[in-house]
Amino acid sequence: MQNLWYKNAIVYSLDVETFMDANGDGIGDFIGLTQQLDYLSGLGITCLWLHPFYPSPNRDDGYDVMDYYNVDPRLGTLGDFVDFMQAAQERGIRILIDLVVNHTSIQHPWFQAARSSSSSPYRDYYVWSEHPPATDPSELVFPDAEDSIWEYDEQARAYYLHHFYKEQPDLNISNPTVRDEIRKIIHFWLTMGVSGFRVDAVPYFIKNVVELVAQYELESFLVELRQYVSARNPEAVLLAEANVESQSVPLYFGNGDRMHMLFSFFVNQKKFLALARQDATPLAEGLQQLPDLPRSGQWLNFVRHHDELTLDQLSAAEQQEVFQAFAPDPAMQIYGRGIRRRLPPMIQNNRQHLELIYSLLFTLPGIPLLRYGDEIGMGDDLSLPDRDSVRTPMQWSDQPNGGFSQAAVEDLAKPVISEGDYGYQRVNVAAQQRDPHSLLNWFDRAIRIRKQCPELGCGQLHLLETTEPAVLAHCCSHPSGVVVAIHNLSHHPCTIALKSNPYSNLADLFGDQSYEPLQDSLTIPIAAYGYRWFRALDIVGYVRSNQKGTN
Ligand code: GLC
Ligand code: CA
């Protein structure tokens, strides 16, 4: 039977560069990260996703790779990576790494060779055109920096395709030699012990920009990727970055022979619209629109990650509602479609509201992704350009540079937040570890209880109809048990009446406060921004053993 470990993983993402600097040069490194693994294991993390750590000119924070088979010397060596892998394995933490193969860096030797001569064997690794079509603005990923997806190269005397920055030429996936290179990269890192890949920019692989190949062939690349992975390690997973409409989701999962997991971009956008309106309806509708996944498929839920909070699937009017509520100043917005803030400043650091939003993260069908610093409520730095606002170093203590590094302030890879409500003097791990009421300790508890509810990762979703539009009531059922969760998106307390509830005996598992036990399962009081998780005790004979990873 396939090992479905990821169906109840607790995922945490970080960039080695900004997590912990062990040698005092101002740049986070693998030795520093290895030293902090006990912290992550203590928090209950079971899977770490590392942002790209390969040699890179860093035009796009490492998403422009120069060498797929190495560690950026600023972050350490391959030897440090191997030590890190072993330390993670000892703690039962699985590692996912970023697979960035839609494009390379312009400085990758392949591109250097490709541009140098049209007869180079590397020429066809990229996509060239002598007379490229005009770019539709909707095709631009970074509309602030680029105005075309084609760039003229003097040396090559042709235009090359780049969906992202011009320093990131797109690879030609329809070339079998390129696909074979990708296979080797996958095999290399699986041999190093990783448990899978967060696959960057997946929809762009199968975009048929130049009509080089039929759509079918491009889709079949997803099947090929899966085969490369499963051939080397049947437990390893592919987590696709694919911000697509719900109708396109089946293309990415296939019948269980393509991607294992997708980020829940669609639901996340509906969730922020619901939060802005204090009305659960858009979220409930979004959940209902999701197609059923194959048995091995899973959603990775998130609130914020390292990019903008994109709202591109909402209408212009809906985007404005979300901007109004959470990012009214244009400096808080980016690319005309997203928000470049961390969550706490978006909601005025309201602790109840924060807990509500993270409680949704833990209970919506799928598994949760935390990003470093979420657990202590880190803020953003809007004085930094673009998405760097949410990429400041981890705040470990009230020591200089927040304990991230002993280097001089001017030598830090990115500035630490050192002023105001979110400065490291106020927001840091050490202080929150000492405070039993801290957000960090809340996360600790939430993760512990989440791990006792594998139904949320494996079960079938049912929405329960309530009389209060502000409240989302849902349950996840599985032969092993049922978990019911109630979330009040509004700042008014209420008592909801459920129209029906198949479960009559609900025991509180977790909540924003300690509530009186329910008198009846149809009438449920809930505080402002409140949340309650229940286990249905009427499910008799459910088996506590062997429920992880089953479906
Ligand atoms: C993905 C990454 C983003 C990067 C882009 C180009 O969207 O998340 O950070 O800029 O791909 O690689
Ligand atoms: Ca360092």
Which protein residue has the closest C-alpha to ligand 1 atom 4?
Answer: 63
* Torsion angle of the four alpha carbons 255, 256, 261, 264, in this order, in degrees rounded to the nearest 10: 20
Give pLDDT, residue 174: 87
The closest ligand to the CA of 63 turns out to be 1
Give pLDDT, residue 1: 66
- The 3-class SS string of 195-212 reads CEEEECCHHHHCCCCCCC
From the CA of 30, how far away is ligand 2's center (Å)?
8
Interhelix angle 176-191/215-232, nearest 10 degrees: 30
Give pLDDT, residue 217: 66
SS3 435: coil
Which atom in ligand 1 lies closest to the alpha carbon of residue 165?
A: 6
- Out of 98, 171, 199, 200, give the residue to mutate to test ligand 1, the one with the largest number of ligand atoms within 8 Å of its CB: 200
What is the spatial distance between Cα 300 and Cα 48, in angstroms, rounded to a whole number? 13
SS3 507: strand
Q: Is the CB of 229 under 6 A from ligand 1?
A: no
Which protein residue has the closest C-alpha to ligand 1 atom 8?
Answer: 307
From the CA of 201, how far away is ligand 1's center (Å)?
7
Domains of the chain: which residue ranges? Answer: 1-99+349-451, 109-161, 176-301, 458-545
- Out of 15, 18, 104, 307, give the residue to mutate to test ligand 1, the one with the largest number of ligand atoms within 8 Å of its CB: 307
CATH topology of domain 109-161: Oligo-1,6-glucosidase; domain 2 (3.90.400)
Which protein residue has the closest C-alpha to ligand 1 atom 12?
Answer: 63
Task: Please give the C-alpha separations between residue 294 and each of 88, 256, 480, 512, in angstroms, as whole numbers.
Answer: 30, 5, 19, 34
From the CA of 239, how far away is ligand 2's center (Å)?
29
Per the document, the length of the chain is 551
Task: Please give the C-alpha separations between residue 344 and each of 332, 479, 510, in angstroms, as whole numbers.
Answer: 13, 37, 22
Q: Is the CB of 200 under 6 A from ligand 1?
A: yes
Please indicate whether the domains covering 1-99+349-451 and 109-161 agree at the CATH topology level: no
| 483, containing H or E segment | strand 481-488
First to last CA, the chain: 11
Q: Is the CB of 63 under 6 A from ligand 1?
A: yes
Q: Is the CB of 164 under 6 A from ligand 1?
A: yes
Contact yes or no for 520/506 (Cβ under 8 A): no
Q: Which two tokens stand for residue 136?
A: 């539709």
User: pLDDT truncated to tens, each residue of the chain (551 aa)?
Assistant: 678 999 999 999 999 999 999 999 999 999 999 999 999 999 999 999 999 999 999 999 999 999 999 999 999 999 999 999 999 999 999 999 999 999 999 999 999 999 999 999 999 999 999 999 899 998 899 999 999 999 999 999 999 999 999 999 999 998 999 999 999 999 999 999 999 999 999 988 877 555 555 555 668 899 999 999 999 999 999 999 999 999 999 999 999 999 999 999 999 999 999 999 999 999 999 999 999 999 999 999 999 999 999 999 999 999 999 999 999 999 999 999 999 999 999 999 999 999 999 999 999 999 999 999 999 999 999 999 999 999 999 999 999 999 999 999 999 999 999 999 999 999 999 999 999 999 999 999 999 999 999 999 999 999 999 999 999 999 999 988 999 999 999 999 999 999 888 898 999 999 999 999 998 889 999 999 999 999 999 865 444 433 434 33
Which atom in ligand 1 lies closest to the alpha carbon of residue 100?
A: 12
What is the spatial distance between Cα 97 and Cα 329, in angstroms, rounded to a whole number? 34
The secondary structure of 225-286 as a DSSP string is HHHHHHHH-TT-EEEE-----GGGHHHHHTTTTS-SEEE-HHHHHHHHHHHHHT-SHHHHHH
From the CA of 426, how far away is ligand 2's center (Å)?
24
Which protein residue has the closest C-alpha to ligand 1 atom 7?
Answer: 201
From the CA of 78, how far away is ligand 2's center (Å)?
15
- CATH class label, 1-99+349-451: alpha beta
Contact yes or no for 147/140 (Cβ under 8 A): yes
**Homologous superfamily in CATH for domain 458-545:** Golgi alpha-mannosidase II (2.60.40.1180)
User: Is 241 an active-site residue?
Assistant: yes
| 352, containing H or E segment | helix 351-363
From the CA of 85, how far away is ligand 2's center (Å)?
18
Q: Is the CB of 100 under 6 A from ligand 1?
A: yes
Q: Is the CB of 307 under 6 A from ligand 1?
A: yes
Which atom in ligand 1 lies closest to the alpha carbon of residue 387?
A: 9
Which protein residue has the closest C-alpha to ligand 1 atom 9?
Answer: 307
SS3 519: coil
Exposure letters 194-219 (e unless 16+ CB within 10 A, then b): bbbbbbbbbbbbbbebeeebeeeebe
Q: Is the CB of 29 under 6 A from ligand 1?
A: no
Q: Which of 29, 72, 80, 200 is catalytic?
A: 200
User: Is 200 an active-site residue?
Assistant: yes
- The 3-class SS string of 437-461 reads CCHHHHHHHHHHHHHCCCHHHHCEE
Strand partners, 368: 301
Q: Is the CB of 60 under 6 A from ligand 1?
A: yes
Q: Is the CB of 308 under 6 A from ligand 1?
A: no
Q: Which of 80, 241, 355, 375 is catalytic?
A: 241
Q: Angle 469-472-475 (CA atoms, 0-180°, nearest 5)?
A: 145
Q: What is the pTM of this model?
A: 0.96
What is the spatial distance between Cα 40 and Cα 193, in angstroms, rounded to a whole number? 19
The structure tokens 């996840």 sit at: 476
Contacts of 208 (CB under 8 A, 6+ apart): 214, 215, 218
- CATH class label, 176-301: alpha beta
Interhelix angle 439-451/351-363, nearest 10 degrees: 20
Contacts of 44 (CB under 8 A, 6+ apart): 10, 444, 447, 448, 451
In the 8-state DSSP scheme, what is residue 94?
A: E
Give pLDDT, residue 541: 43
Q: Is the CB of 21 under 6 A from ligand 1?
A: no
In the 8-state DSSP scheme, what is residue 25?
A: S
pLDDT digits (tens, 9 = 90+) for 155-172: 999 999 999 999 999 999
Q: Is the CB of 275 under 6 A from ligand 1?
A: no
The structure tokens 């090359």 sit at: 160
| Sign, Cα dihedral of 214, 216, 218, 221 | negative
Task: Please give the C-alpha separations between residue 302 and each of 43, 262, 323, 355, 370, in angstroms, as whole numbers.
Answer: 17, 11, 19, 14, 7
The per-type count for the chain, helices as H runs and strands as E runs, is 16, 21
